[in-house]
């Protein structure tokens, strides 16, 4: 009709159809019933997974060579009265050896 064209009703309906199209309702296909399964006892043979190496550090850890240590720059602490001054050398790296003779580095942050 001319009135509907002037108002643009058909254009609005066409746009709405593009934006939200009507959904077609689909049904699932039917599957025939099979009936119950007979009673059965299950059986399985357990096979444990193979052992994997490299899972961690073998205790105990021991330091083999003290001279392998490295230190951060020396720090000096003074007593409040100024009579005594202590020189401290904080460790930077210590090398430890585990029970499997593997070296492990312990790296320490520089103190504030």
**Which pLDDT score is estimated for 50?**
80
CB 71 within 8 A of CB 89: yes
Asked whether residue 92 is assigned to any structural domain, the reply reads yes
Asked whether residue 69 is assigned to any structural domain, the reply reads yes
Asked whether residue 105 is assigned to any structural domain, the reply reads yes
For 74, the domain range is 59-112
Put simply, whether the predicted model's pTM sits higher than 0.85 gets the answer: no
SS3 66: helix
Q: How confident is the model over 34-57, as pLDDT tens digits?
A: 777 777 777 788 888 887 766 678
Asked whether residue 38 is assigned to any structural domain, the reply reads no
Q: Distances from the Cα of 18 to the Cαs of 22, 25, 98, in angstroms?
A: 9, 18, 72
From the number of C-beta atoms within 10 Å of its C-beta (0-12, 13-18, 19+), residue 43 rates as exposed
Asked whether residue 18 is assigned to any structural domain, the reply reads no
Domain count, the chain: 1
Asked whether residue 109 is assigned to any structural domain, the reply reads yes
Name residues of the chain where pLDDT drops below 70.
1-2, 4, 20-22, 53-55
Asked whether residue 41 is assigned to any structural domain, the reply reads no
């Amino acid at each position: 009709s001319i009135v509907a064209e002037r108002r643009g009703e058909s254009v609005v309906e066409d746009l709405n159809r593009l934006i939200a199209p009507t959904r077609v309702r689909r049904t699932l296909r039917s599957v025939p019933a099979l009936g119950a399964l007979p009673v059965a006892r299950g059986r399985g043979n357990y096979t444990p997974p193979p052992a994997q190496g490299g899972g961690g550090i073998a205790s105990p850890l021991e330091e083999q060579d003290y001279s392998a240590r490295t230190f951060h720059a020396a720090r000096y602490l003074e007593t409040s009265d100024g009579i005594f001054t202590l020189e401290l050398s904080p460790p930077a790296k210590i090398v430890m050896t585990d029970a499997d003779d593997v070296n492990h580095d312990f790296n320490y942050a520089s103190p504030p």
